[in-house]
Every structure is written in structure tokens, then in C-alpha cells.
């Protein structure tokens, strides 16, 4: 029955999760909005990565949709799964074009770690499912 215990969240853990989530969400929101608005840096970056400039808006809309699913509390875990897939595509793209490891290839992984870390810290149900052993 230990699995079914509901543990009260501590305030520092909740705030740490909220801050981590806010950093990731704000970055992804900025990234998706500049794509949807077809701003020059987004279009140029997409072309430099080997994709047609016409793909920018679709990528931005897809990212916004995944982000919306993440920020809605009941669907946040599903949103994190969707965003992890989206960010995995970014990793694959950077590997394909030969970008530097720590600054480009792994950056989407850092964002995904913030997303999942925020959920882990702020959602007791997820912590119960993961149930890291001491």
C-alpha cells in the first residue's frame, strides 16, 4: 500500500518545479512564436539546418500544440511525452548537420530534462509512479 500513499508536497519542491517548468515553457513559447510569425532568424535557422523555409510555420504550430498539452495540468505528462519526441527530432537534426555536442546537440535534452524535472518535483502522482528507491 506504500504506492498508494499520497505525500503532501513541500513548498520548496513545488516552487523549484514551477521555476524549472517556467524556464522551459518560456523558452519553448518564444521558439514556437518566432516560428509561427516567420521571423527571419527562425527561417534562416531552419534553412541552415537543411529544412525548407516553408516548414517553419508548421513546426511552430506543432510545438505550440505540444506546449499547450503540457501546460494543461491534467494532460501535462502526455504533453511532456509529446515535447520529448519533438525535442528528440531537434537532437537528430543537430547530429545530422554535425553541430557541436554540448551547445547544440544536447540543448534539446537540457530542455526536456527541465520539463520532466518540473513535473517530477511538482506532481506527487508522477513521483509515486517513478518511485525512486532510497
Q: What is the pLDDT of residues 73-93, one digit of tens each?
A: 999 999 999 999 999 999 999
Evaluate whether 76 touches 92 at the Cβ level (below 8 Å).
no
pLDDT tens-digit map of 20-31:
999 999 999 999
pLDDT at 115 exceeding the cut of 70: yes
Given the C-alpha cell 534562416, which residue does it identify? 44
Asked whether the beta carbons of 3 and 112 are under 8 A apart, the reply is no
The pLDDT tens digits of the residues spanning 15-74 come to 999 999 999 999 999 999 999 999 999 999 999 999 999 999 999 999 999 999 999 999
- Using CA atoms, how far apart are residues 134 and 127, in angstroms rounded to an integer? 13
Phi, psi of 6 (to 5 degrees): -100, 120
Does pLDDT of 5 surpass 70?
no
Report phi then psi at 82, rounded to 5: -60, -45
The predicted model scores a pTM of 0.89
Strands (E), 12-123: none
Amino acid at each position: 500500500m506504500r504506492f498508494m500513499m499520497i505525500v503532501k508536497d513541500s513548498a520548496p519542491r513545488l516552487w523549484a518545479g514551477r521555476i524549472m517548468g517556467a524556464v522551459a515553457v518560456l523558452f519553448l513559447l518564444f521558439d514556437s512564436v518566432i516560428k509561427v510569425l516567420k521571423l527571419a532568424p527562425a527561417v534562416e535557422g531552419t534553412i541552415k539546418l537543411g529544412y525548407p523555409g516553408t516548414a517553419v510555420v508548421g513546426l511552430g504550430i506543432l510545438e505550440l500544440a505540444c506546449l499547450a498539452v503540457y501546460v494543461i495540468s491534467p494532460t501535462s505528462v502526455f504533453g511532456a511525452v509529446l515535447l520529448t519526441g519533438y525535442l528528440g527530432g531537434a537532437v537528430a537534426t543537430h547530429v545530422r548537420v554535425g553541430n557541436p555536442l554540448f551547445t547544440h546537440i544536447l540543448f534539446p535534452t537540457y530542455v526536456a530534462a527541465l520539463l520532466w524535472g518540473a513535473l517530477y518535483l511538482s506532481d506527487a502522482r508522477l513521483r509515486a509512479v517513478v518511485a525512486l528507491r532510497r
